[in-house]
Amino acid sequence: MKCLEIEALSKVYPGPDGPIEAIRRVDLAVREGDFVAIVGPSGCGKSTLLQIVAGLERPTSGRVLFRGQPVRGSSHERTLIFQESALFPWLTAQGNIEFGLRNLGLAAAERRARAREALRWLGLEAFAGLYPHQLSGGMQQRVALARALAVDPALLLMDEPFAALDALTRRRLQEEVRRIQEERRQTVLLVTHSVREALSLADQVVVLSGRPAVVRTTMPIPHPLSPSALVEWEEAIHRYLMDELC
């Protein structure tokens, strides 16, 4: 069963010196339960792609089908997680999580219960009453993850979610995401510039070219990946990307 189908998607922005072509005829499919990572050189239009899937931007041409239906506008079914946590600073961790649940029309008691559950998934019970500025960067990103998972999205979109974290925190959060993805069979579309991150998390890695972004190759990744295999895969993908930079 296909969760997401992207067909011949193109995006052209009006720029000061004429139109800027961000994405050119990208095709991509994500099955239910898949973890797909998109890698590519920075500024290549990966984020734009995610914004279009989230329904925050319109494509110039091409189609995006979500569970067989064309995407029109944004929805909690396609929740987006940003590089910086984008938490609401005036709400506590729990309040942030309940924000999305209110949109689902849940009663207060149920909102609270589900928010508690989401906090527990990410080991945040003790931080429920704290405001974002009282949390470390890693904790903030955990809350953002809990907030996104609480609305039970069919497709979780992640835009460089760990790029602003230190190496250790990043690693721990990556493991957490992998665990949750496996437990919930959560469909994930991740955008990252880190090939290693893509390889250690995703079942499938899509390599995009530099601007305008076109799909260079799509690789299914066997899991678990031995350390030596990881290095080999990384080397292979880096070669693809190096060609792009020249």
Partner 1 sequence: MKRQAEWRGGLLLAVLLIAWEVIPRLGWVDPLLLPPFSRVGTRLLTLAVSGELVQHAAASLGRVLTGYGLALAVALPLGFLLGLSEPAEQFARLTVQLLRPLSPPAWIPLAILWFGIGNAPAIFIIFVGTFLTLLTGTIAAVRGVDRRLVQAARTLGCSRRSAILRVVLPAALPELLTLVRLGLGLAWMCVMAAEMVAVSRGLGFLMLEARNLFRTDTVLAGMLTVGCLGLLLDGILRLVQARLLRWQVGRRAYEMPGD
Enumerate binding residues for partner 1 (CB under 8 A): 51, 54-56, 74-76, 78-80, 82, 84, 86-92, 99-100, 103-104, 131, 133-134, 147-148, 151, 157
- Calpha distance 105→24 (Å, rounded): 39
Question: Residue ranges of the alpha helices (H) in 20-71?
Answer: 46-54
* Sole residue written with tokens 């260079």: 216
Instruction: Tell me the closest approach of the beta carbon of residue 86 to partner 1, in angstroms.
Output: 4
- Calpha distance 118→127 (Å, rounded): 12
Rounded to 10 degrees, the C-alpha dihedral 141/49/78/88 comes to 40
| Nearest to partner 1 of 153, 210 (CB atom) | 153
- Calpha distance 154→151 (Å, rounded): 9
Instruction: Tell me the closest approach of the beta carbon of residue 67 to partner 1, in angstroms.
Output: 16
Instruction: Tell me the closest approach of the beta carbon of residue 219 to partner 1, in angstroms.
Output: 28
| Nearest to partner 1 of 191, 199 (CB atom) | 191
Q: Which of 138, 210, 136 is nearest to 173 (CA)?
A: 138
Tell the burial category of 97 from Cβ atoms under 10 Å away from its Cβ (0-12, 13-18, 19+): buried
Locate 10 and state its tokens.
């193109």
Instruction: Tell me the closest approach of the beta carbon of residue 234 to partner 1, in angstroms.
Output: 30
| Nearest to partner 1 of 10, 75 (CB atom) | 75
| Nearest to partner 1 of 79, 200 (CB atom) | 79
Instruction: Tell me the closest approach of the beta carbon of residue 193 to partner 1, in angstroms.
Output: 19
| Nearest to partner 1 of 149, 195 (CB atom) | 149
